[in-house]
């Protein structure tokens, strides 16, 4: 399952937004750091759950790993196969992975756990498919903690918190370390990285925040339009700033 699928019905639009976010250098460095924390040996099997269009799966395969991508969205998997012919991606739920007990040496979930109905069940499934000594990496943002420069700070706070309220577990990323410890993992560490948008690349993300806030009735339509217009102008004037803390936790089975 890919993290924001439940909040969007426009798959093509979501893919464009994900592409823009994944293309920025800070996001690429963060993905690379998550691969590093998996400590994969050549030929090791690694599963990337909620793989979306499978950029990470392709990158992991370049690290000489046997990379398997899992997602529930057939449209995302179709896009993944078009982009990366021959890639191993499978339609499955994170709580019922198509792997044998102990088959994987690495497990990665990027911006996934906050939309799951039962994160604990997903983590138990991660333990099942990981071999003893296998590594897990969980990556995600805290939806209640976003720094956005705006001349409308009160409206911005309402937008951020309203968007956070649209996902089942908006603050789970800050609890990743405890989640792994409670799930029986050892050698658990957590890092906090900040992804910063300063130009038009961040505009689709900000527009999505305001649109979601309007859809749930937290802000009026004219408030959404005014805020989006402000951020659009900031992007055009090279004055946009959005800073998003990303939590990266890793541990050993």
**Which phi and psi (to 5°) does residue 144 adopt?**
-85, -5
**Overall pTM surpassing 0.75 (yes/no):** yes
Beta-strand runs (E) in the chain: 45-49, 66-71, 89-91, 104-110, 130-141, 147-148, 186-197, 242-252
* Per-residue confidence (pLDDT) for residue 169, from 0 to 100: 97
Residue 31 CA neighbour count, 13 Å, CB half? 20
Range of the domain at 204: 5-252
- pLDDT for 22: 79
Q: CA 40, 44, 45 angle in degrees (round to 5)?
A: 115
What number of other Cβ atoms are within 10 A of residue 178's Cβ?
Answer: 12
Task: Write down the pLDDT at residue 10.
Answer: 65
What is the domain count for the chain?
Answer: 1
pLDDT of residue 81: 95
Other CB atoms within 10 A of residue 98 CB: 13
- What CATH number did the domain enclosing 218 receive? 3.40.50.150
Query: One digit per residue, pLDDT tens: the chain, 253 residues?
Result: 333 333 344 667 777 777 777 778 888 999 999 999 999 999 999 999 999 999 999 999 998 889 999 999 999 999 999 999 999 999 999 999 999 999 999 999 999 999 999 999 999 999 999 999 999 999 999 999 999 999 999 999 999 999 999 999 999 999 999 999 999 999 999 999 999 999 898 898 999 999 999 999 999 999 999 999 999 999 999 999 999 999 999 999 9
Helix 153-164 crosses helix 203-215 at what angle (to 10 degrees)? 80
Per-residue model confidence (pLDDT) at position 19: 77
- Evaluate whether 13 touches 211 at the Cβ level (below 8 Å): no
């Amino acid at each position: 399952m890919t993290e924001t699928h439940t909040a969007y019905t426009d798959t093509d639009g979501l893919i464009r937004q994900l592409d823009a976010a994944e293309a920025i250098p800070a996001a690429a460095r963060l993905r690379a750091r998550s691969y590093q924390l998996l400590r994969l040996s050549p030929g090791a099997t690694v599963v990337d759950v909620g793989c979306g269009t499978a950029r990470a799966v392709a990158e992991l395969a370049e690290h000489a790993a046997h990379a398997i991508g899992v997602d529930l969205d057939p449209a995302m998997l179709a896009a993944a196969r078009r982009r990366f012919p021959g890639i191993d991606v499978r339609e499955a739920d994170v709580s019922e992975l198509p792997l044998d007990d102990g088959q994987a040496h690495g497990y990665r979930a990027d911006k996934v756990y906050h939309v799951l109905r039962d994160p604990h069940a997903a983590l138990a499934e991660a333990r099942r498919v990981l071999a003893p000594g296998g590594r897990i990496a969980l990556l995600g943002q805290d939806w209640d903690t976003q720094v956005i420069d705006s001349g409308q700070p009160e409206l911005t706070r309402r937008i951020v918190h309203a968007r956070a309220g649209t996902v089942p577990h908006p603050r789970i990323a800050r609890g990743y370390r405890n989640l792994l410890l409670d799930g029986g993992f050892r050698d658990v560490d957590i890092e906090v990285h900040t992804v910063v948008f300063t130009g038009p690349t961040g505009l689709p993300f900000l527009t999505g925040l305001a649109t979601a806030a309007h859809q749930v009735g937290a802000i009026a339509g004219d408030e959404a339009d005014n805020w989006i217009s402000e951020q659009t102008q900031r992007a055009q004037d090279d004055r946009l700033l959005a800073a998003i803390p990303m939590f990266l936790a890793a541990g050993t089975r």
